[in-house]
Chains A and B, each alone.
Chain A
Amino acid sequence: MNETAAIANEPVKVDIWSDVQCPWCYIGKRRFEAAIESSGIAVDIEYHSFELAPDTPVEYDGTPIQFLSERKGLPLPQVEEMLTRVTDIATSLGLDYNYEHIHQTNTVKAHELLHYAKAHGRQLEMKERLLDAYFIKTEHVGRIEDLADIAASIGFDRDDVVQVLESSEYLPAVKADMEVAMQYGIQGVPFFVIDGKYGVSGAQESETFANVLTQALTERDA
């Protein structure tokens, strides 16, 4: 196989900037997965950290509805209406967001855990587990002990996770992701970078994602 053919056969690299408490990120994840399935295009996915609200306290005593109401100065009914649309779309994809019981929190430790999982070759599994934990199971994804429980539930060494998160070993990796996001000019998530050349913002329809993947492959072959 010559070099050109080898490149053409390589999976499409997809770098995704995302936050654990981003409702559109979970929706976008499902739609992107559907695009992969429908297109049959091989991809190599890597998640990157994006902290939407890094000043949120770990122990925020309230739901995202209350959080947004306080932050934006909006009446609770207006926030609820805003979230209803995204919740309805999530439900249509089989994701039952439970905003009444979600724990709004700081996600930096969750991002560190994602980098830890990546170092163990299991980042995608951890990403799914954390999104499910936050939006559907309404587990706390800000506290180290809770994150260790979540990690242990999918087979990670709980004590090792606690030690790694307490030491902030992967904090530089989180910050490095944020730096690259700045260099790409990313302001919102989810944000998909395809083969390092194409930028796709937001929770696109799966057909759109499939078209983008096809275009990336086609232009690679050109």
Chain B
Amino acid sequence: MDAATKPIPTFALQQLGDPKVGVCEGDACIVDDHRSQAFVNRQIDEGLV
């Protein structure tokens, strides 16, 4: 699923905190220095979850 086709989350949240922290997505647990907060606004990739 690409960004253009990902549904918008039903529940909107105000994002707080540092977006560059450790998080696990799918089978990868990383610290991504280039992470943006945009990921919390994307739909879960059903292939990973």
Contacts and interface: CB of A to CB of B under 8 A. Distances in A.
A and B assemble together: yes
Contact of B41 (A178, A185, A205): A185
A202 B29 contact: no
Contact of B16 (A71, A181, A212): A212
Interface stretch (A124-132, A138-146, A148-156, A188-196): A188-196
A72 interface: yes
A54 B49 contact: yes
Interface string A52-78: 111010000000000110011000000
A25 interface: yes
Contacts, number: 128
A217 interface: no
Interface stretch (A3-11, A81-89, A111-119, A163-171): A81-89
Given A187-B39, A203-B21, A68 B13 contact: no
How many chain A residues sit at the interface, stated as a range, is: 35 or more
User: Which of A27, A180, A190, A204: most chain B CB closer than 10 A?
Assistant: A204
B24 A189 contact: yes
A215 interface: yes
A183 B9 contact: yes
B14 to A, nearest CB: 5
A193 B10 CA distance: 14
A202 B17 contact: yes
A25 B18 CA distance: 16
Contacts of B17: 200-202, 204, 208-209, 212
Contact of B23 (A56, A201, A209): A201
A51 B49 contact: yes
B28 A203 contact: no
Nearest to B6: A185
Contacts of A203: 21-23
Given A85-B31, A199-B14, A199-B16, A23 B40 contact: no
A82 to B, nearest CB: 7
B33 to A, nearest CB: 12
A155 B32 CA distance: 40
A52 B40 contact: no
Interface of A: 19, 22-25, 27-28, 50-54, 56, 67-68, 71-72, 82-83, 85-86, 89, 178, 180-191, 193-194, 197-205, 208-209, 212, 215
18 contacts: A24-B22, A52-B27, A52-B49, A53-B26, A68-B28, A82-B29, A83-B29, A86-B22, A89-B22, A180-B11, A183-B9, A185-B8, A187-B42, A188-B25, A190-B23, A198-B13, A202-B17, A208-B17
